[in-house]
């Protein structure tokens, strides 16, 4: 006899955005419980709660202390878990809610972006054994000396995959879309749902502007080999399963993504001496700015042109910082350009299939779209273009690769 | 050299009811900190937050589990402490917020009405020593096995006095009124603030419908000899100090209170056999109903008339329960009367001053107010009257005793 299967599920803010939505989630969870599935349910704060709490903090101070901001924001998920537990009780099932602290998610002390150091699953296992549906507050943890922290980037997705890894069970991410598509269906009407995708491809989707999953969550799932599934909390339809690449038929590319929320900083005539790149990246890291992409061109006259892509919200600040740095390391020009976007094709066969790059560039050329910068990896080709041409670019690439008719097979079963 | 004085302060929901109010409280706290006063600041949930959270729970289920309701409600105070800490930081002072769990308030596991079992002041003392203003979430605690609880009745007032007792320091309750008055100023315009009052008198005020302090908080203060002060968070004026009775000049009565939120259940012709009273009180206790007052009249023909006063919200339910019980113990009539009120005079000299009772009854008679029931204690005379005559009764008694001109002296300094 097999033991009762266990799964970790995560419901995001939209999925628990109202009392009605919480009732719906409770109904789904109870239905599956009665069909013999034990569940650890990770939930986010309801809808706009986090934004409202941040708004209150901003009314008080421009620079809230990260410790107190975490104290404030973790109340959002605590409200969700209590209400969801009540809704499950109301349907006649046993459930118990646990804060990040109570369910043993131990983090370091980096308030607002804490890293999980350990997960003590004792309480969760005990509650599951007692027949409870265990409802966990996402996005939060506790330091060994009882400080309340938030996980920052990736939030509740990270909680869910980390718990699934610790428990050795699969993870389902319920969200407001059906899964991962060949392109954003709002831009490309013929975009198709991808039933299967590799961790590596999913990482690139996450990093390329698809908001379905956070890269950190995918990294954890990949590292600990957690079976991961993205599916809709609104419609009972199959979603996207994220699996090991060797379980999948190789295809050249699986989809195209567009990311408008970026900006570019161009450094021209940077002196070609050791340590300059380190100085640039360190200065941005010190300000908490992540560099999404670095592209360094060919060396001319002992100087380089370097382009940096950062998040749109960071571009002005990054520009200021780099003007400072550049004035220290010698004559270089710093140009800030917030009006760029990135179009990427993603697929495990990008590097091994001849002609993929040429095909993509031709698709853009046919639309009269100029390519500003190019960056490639094993599973991705990204082009930086003008922001106002992004939607046309995504449509053109999707059409050129005939992604609307993509079929991909699983090799060995998942 | 004296060590820096420490005080525990509590600000209620109205006092932190908005971002502006939180800023005002932060200003007051920082001002006193800079004048050399170390502070532990206990706060309630902002304004109507608790009601809103209960409203959400009620949308989901009529009978939320007490554990989950506590999980839900404790977020209210957690929001307040985080925002107040930010507001203090904004004024350039160090502050740290602590949940009930973090500040070591250990309770039993009676969700929604937990009793404090122990207070571990280690964290609070450490934070005070490091120069922090310590901001504590009121109304909440944690069981030894990390379940989040609320203290129920008395809420944040109880947290504050219990912390003051544990730390051996005075306690200031900041509220939306100036202190304790000789009568409700909304009913009696000439009512005066009482600068000094004994614990025993304060207990009677609390039990007699004055909403200034909860009896539980006064009991703790009395038991642990905590100097207690009630004052306004809106106006910087002296409040009411609650002190040991032997420090006060004896006066016959200090004030008059009215309580309209009660109801009466009359049991007539109750058989005079042992165990009936126990049966009545146990049946109500089992339903979680507190009996405010029991009055048993003279025995006639081996039967008694018994009157019970309970909270208005409980009166219908108590009536149903007692009809059941009475049918078991023999023929008795049960009459439910929700339209009664209680007017009380309070003073440490009530029992020792001849004529106080007569004076009070005459005041009511002069107004044509019929007295339904009478109950007296060492420091109180309470009369049950018709609800629609309550305000007239309070005014008449206040005038008769000339309470507007009361002066009372402290004997030995406080």
SS3 content of chain B, % helix, strand, coil (to 5): 35, 25, 35
Q: What is the Cα–Cα distance from B210 to B255, expressed in whole angstroms?
A: 11
Tell me phi and psi for residue B95, to 5 degrees: -155, 155
Residue contact B68–A56, C-beta within 8 A: no
CB-based contact, B67 to chain A, within 8 Å? yes
- Sheet arrangement for strand B255-259: B255-259, B340-346, B380-386, B373-377
CB-based contact, A106 to chain B, within 8 Å? no
Query: Is residue B85 a contact partner of residue B97, using CB atoms and an 8 Å limit?
Result: yes
Give just the sign of the alpha carbon dihedral A343, A348, A351, A353.
negative
Residue contact B78–A59, C-beta within 8 A: no
CB-based contact, A78 to chain B, within 8 Å? yes
pLDDT over 60 at A1, yes or no:
no
pLDDT over 80 at B207, yes or no:
no
Give just the sign of the alpha carbon dihedral A335, A341, A346, A350.
negative
Compute the average pLDDT of residues A101-115.
Answer: 94
Of the candidates B353, B403, B359, the residue with the CA atom closest to the CA atom of residue B378: B353
Of the candidates B214, B163, B197, B188, the residue with the CA atom closest to the CA atom of residue B42: B163
Q: What is the Cα–Cα distance from A62 to A52, expressed in whole angstroms?
A: 15
- Give the per-residue pLDDT at B85: 98
Strand bridging mode B291-296 / B240-243? unpaired
Which of the residues A82, A92, A144 would you substitute to probe the B interface, choosing the one with the greatest number of B C-beta atoms within 10 Å? A82
pLDDT over 70 at A391, yes or no:
yes
Residue contact A68–B82, C-beta within 8 A: yes
The three-state secondary structure class of A18 is: coil
- Give the per-residue pLDDT at B412: 52
Given CATH 3.40.1160.10, say whether it is the number of domain B6-176: yes
* Residue A238 CB neighbour total at 10 angstroms: 12
Query: Is residue B310 a contact partner of residue B292, using CB atoms and an 8 Å limit?
Result: yes
Reported as a pLDDT band with limits 50, 70 and 90, residue B19 is: very high
Q: What is the Cα–Cα distance from B237 to B356, expressed in whole angstroms?
A: 32
Reported as a pLDDT band with limits 50, 70 and 90, residue B299 is: low
Strand bridging mode B140-142 / B133-137? unpaired
Distant-in-sequence, close-in-space partners of B120: CB < 8 Å, separation ≥ 6? B104, B106
Residue contact B56–A97, C-beta within 8 A: no
Buried b (16+ CB within 10 A) or exposed e, A379-398: bbbbbbbebebbbbbbbbbb
Chain A residue numbers with beta carbons less than 8 Å from the beta carbon of B64 are 86, 89
Shortest Cα distance from A68 to chain B (angstroms)?
5
Q: Where are the beta strands (DSSP E) in A99-177?
A: 105-107, 116-119, 133-137, 140-142, 148-150, 171-175
Give the residue from chain A lying closest to B85, CA to CA. Answer: A68
Query: Is residue B269 a contact partner of residue B331, using CB atoms and an 8 Å limit?
Result: yes
Compute the average pLDDT of residues B22-36.
Answer: 97
Lowest mean pLDDT among A172-186, A236-250, A284-298, B103-117: A284-298
Reported as a pLDDT band with limits 50, 70 and 90, residue B283 is: confident
- Give the per-residue pLDDT at B354: 78
CB-based contact, A22 to chain B, within 8 Å? yes
Bridge partners (DSSP) listed for residue B43: B11, B137
Q: Which of A354-358, B142-146, B265-269, B397-401 has the highest mean pLDDT?
A: B142-146
CB-based contact, A52 to chain B, within 8 Å? no
Give the residue from chain B lying closest to A52, CA to CA. Answer: B79
pLDDT over 90 at A161, yes or no:
yes
Compute the average pLDDT of residues A256-279.
Answer: 84
Q: Kindly report the average pLDDT of chain B as a whole number.
A: 89
Shortest Cα distance from B19 to chain A (angstroms)?
7
Residue contact B61–A99, C-beta within 8 A: no
Lowest mean pLDDT among A28-42, A253-267, B56-70, B299-313: B299-313
Distant-in-sequence, close-in-space partners of A393: CB < 8 Å, separation ≥ 6? A258, A341, A343, A363, A364, A367, A369, A383, A385
Gap between the terminal Cα atoms of chain B: 21
Give the residue from chain B lying closest to A54, CA to CA. Answer: B83
Chain-centre distance of CA B201, in angstroms? 12
CB-based contact, A57 to chain B, within 8 Å? yes
Residue contact A146–B74, C-beta within 8 A: no
Q: What is the Cα–Cα distance from A197 to B225, expressed in whole angstroms?
A: 69
Reported as a pLDDT band with limits 50, 70 and 90, residue B324 is: confident
* Residue B285 CB neighbour total at 10 angstroms: 11
- Give the per-residue pLDDT at A213: 85
Compute the average pLDDT of residues A111-129.
Answer: 95
pLDDT in tens, A271-296: 777 777 778 888 888 888 888 888 87
The three-state secondary structure class of A215 is: helix
Compute the average pLDDT of residues A146-154.
Answer: 89
Residue contact B23–A60, C-beta within 8 A: yes
Q: Which of A64, A97, A148 sits opposite B71 (nearest CB)?
A: A97
Q: Angle, to 10 degrees, between the axis of helix A49-60 and the axis of helix A66-90?
A: 150
Shortest Cα distance from A89 to chain B (angstroms)?
8
CB-based contact, B276 to chain A, within 8 Å? no
Q: Where are the beta strands (DSSP E) in A354-413?
A: 373-377, 380-386
pTM for this model (two decimals): 0.82
CB-based contact, A148 to chain B, within 8 Å? yes
Which of the residues A24, A86, A90, A98 would you substitute to probe the B interface, choosing the one with the greatest number of B C-beta atoms within 10 Å? A86
Query: Is residue B394 a contact partner of residue B363, using CB atoms and an 8 Å limit?
Result: no
Helix (H) or strand (E) holding A350: none
pLDDT over 50 at A413, yes or no:
no
Compute the average pLDDT of residues A298-327.
Answer: 85
pLDDT over 80 at B301, yes or no:
no
Give just the sign of the alpha carbon dihedral B93, B97, B103, B108.
positive
Q: What is the Cα–Cα distance from B403 to B363, expressed in whole angstroms?
A: 13
Residue contact A83–B23, C-beta within 8 A: no
Q: Where are the beta strands (DSSP E) in A200-351?
A: 228-232, 240-243, 255-259, 262-271, 291-296, 303-311, 333-337, 340-346
Bridge partners (DSSP) listed for residue A382: A344, A375
Lowest mean pLDDT among A6-10, A213-217, A221-225: A213-217
CA distances from A297 to A17, A268, A386 (A): 47, 10, 19
Q: What is the Cα–Cα distance from A78 to B72, expressed in whole angstroms?
A: 7
- Give the per-residue pLDDT at B209: 66
DSSP letters for B350-385: TTTSTTHHHHHHHHHHHTTPPP-EEEEETTEEEEEE
Chain B residue numbers with beta carbons less than 8 Å from the beta carbon of A71 are 78, 81-82, 85, 97, 99
pLDDT over 80 at A142, yes or no:
yes
Compute the average pLDDT of residues A83-99.
Answer: 98
- Give the per-residue pLDDT at A33: 97
Lowest mean pLDDT among A383-392, B19-28, B352-361: B352-361
- Give the per-residue pLDDT at A2: 61
Reported as a pLDDT band with limits 50, 70 and 90, residue A414 is: very low
């Amino acid at each position: 006899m097999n033991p009762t299967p266990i799964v970790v599920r995560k419901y995001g803010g939209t999925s628990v955005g109202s009392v009605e939505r919480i009732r719906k989630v409770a109904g789904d969870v109870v239905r599956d419980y009665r069909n013999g599935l034990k569940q650890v349910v990770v939930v986010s704060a309801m809808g706009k709660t986090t934004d409202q709490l941040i708004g209150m903090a901003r009314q008080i101070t421009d620079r809230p202390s990260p410790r107190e901001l975490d104290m404030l924001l973790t109340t959002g998920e605590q409200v969700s878990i209590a209400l969801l537990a009540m809704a499950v009780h109301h349907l006649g099932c046993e459930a118990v809610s646990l804060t990040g602290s109570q369910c043993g998610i131990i983090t370091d002390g980096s308030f607002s972006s804490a890293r999980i150091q350990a997960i003590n699953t004792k309480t969760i296992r005990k509650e599951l054994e007692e027949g409870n549906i265990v409802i966990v507050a996402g996005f939060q943890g506790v330091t060994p000396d009882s400080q309340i922290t938030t996980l920052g980037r990736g939030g509740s997705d990270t909680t869910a995959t980390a718990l699934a890894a610790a428990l050795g069970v699969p993870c389902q991410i319920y969200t407001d879309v059906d899964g991962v598509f060949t392109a954003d269906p709002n831009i490309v009407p013929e975009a198709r749902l991808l039933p299967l995708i590799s961790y590596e491809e999913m990482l690139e989707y996450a990093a390329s502007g698809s908001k379905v999953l956070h890269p950190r969550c995918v990294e954890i799932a990949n590292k600990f080999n957690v079976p991961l599934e993205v599916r809709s909390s609104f419609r009972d339809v199959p979603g996207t399963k994220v699996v090991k690449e060797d379980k999948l038929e190789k295809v050249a590319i699986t989809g195209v993504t567009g990311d408008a929320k970026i900006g570019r900083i161009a450094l021209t005539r940077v002196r070609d001496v050791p340590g300059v790149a380190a100085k640039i990246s360190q200065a941005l890291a010190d300000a908490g700015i992540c560099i999404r992409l670095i592209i360094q061109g060919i060396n001319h006259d002992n100087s380089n042109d370097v382009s940096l892509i950062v998040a749109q919200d960071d571009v002005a600040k990054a520009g200021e910082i780099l003007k400072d740095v550049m004035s220290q390391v010698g004559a270089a020009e710093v140009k800030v350009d917030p009006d760029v976007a990135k179009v990427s094709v993603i697929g495990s066969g990008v590097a091994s299939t001849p002609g993929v790059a040429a095909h993509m560039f031709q698709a853009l050329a046919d639309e009269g779209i100029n390519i500003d910068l190019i960056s490639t990896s094993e599973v991705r080709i990204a082009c930086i273009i003008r922001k106002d041409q992004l939607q046309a670019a995504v449509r053109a690439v999707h059409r050129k690769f005939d992604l609307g008719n993509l079929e991909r097979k699983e090799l060995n079963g998942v």
